[in-house]
Every structure is written in C-alpha cells, then in structure tokens.
Amino acid sequence: LLCKKILTNWGVKTLEALDESMAIQMLADNKDINLVLIDTILLEKKDFSSLVELGQTYPKLKFVIVSSDSKVS
C-alpha cells in the first residue's frame, strides 16, 4: 500500500491484483502496463516460472520483485 500511495502521488496509474491469475488478466486487459511490482507471496509457482512466462509473453515488461515473507531465502 505504501508503494501504491507513493506512485499515485507521482502521477503513476496503478492497478492492484489480489492474486497471480488476476494480475495476468490485468496484463491482458491493459496493454499499456510497462512495470509490474510483485510480492513473491502472490506467486502461485514459487520457482518464478510464471514470471519467465510473462516475460516471454510481454518482452518489454519490467518487473520489480519484492518479498514480505521473512522465510524466503
């Protein structure tokens, strides 16, 4: 929520997904998305393969990957 607030204050349009499948649908519906800020907790596949697939589908898309899970190594 902090990132969303900061980005909105900078005039950046933000969308928020509750899970990975919702995020994928948002990407399909909004072709102008160029940056995805994702928490690893939302990933259904913990091996990041879904991000690799998204990168292949949307080659110009950039990712910022964060984790709010203290158990991620």
The string of pLDDT tens digits covering residues 2-47 is: 888 998 999 999 999 888 889 899 999 998 998 998 888 877 777 7
Alpha carbon distance 17, 6 (integer Å): 17
- What confidence category does residue 71 fall into, taking pLDDT thresholds of 50, 70 and 90? low
Of 70 and 21, the structure prediction assigns the larger pLDDT to 21
- The answer to which of 10-14, 55-59, 65-69 has the lowest mean pLDDT is 65-69
Q: What does each C-alpha distance from 72 to 11, 21, 52 come to in angstroms?
A: 32, 21, 19
Model-level pTM?
Answer: 0.74
**29 dihedral zone (left: phi>0; alpha: psi -120 to 50; beta):** alpha
Indicate the SS3 state at residue 36: strand
Alpha carbon distance 43, 72 (integer Å): 12
Residue 73 has pLDDT above 60, yes or no: no
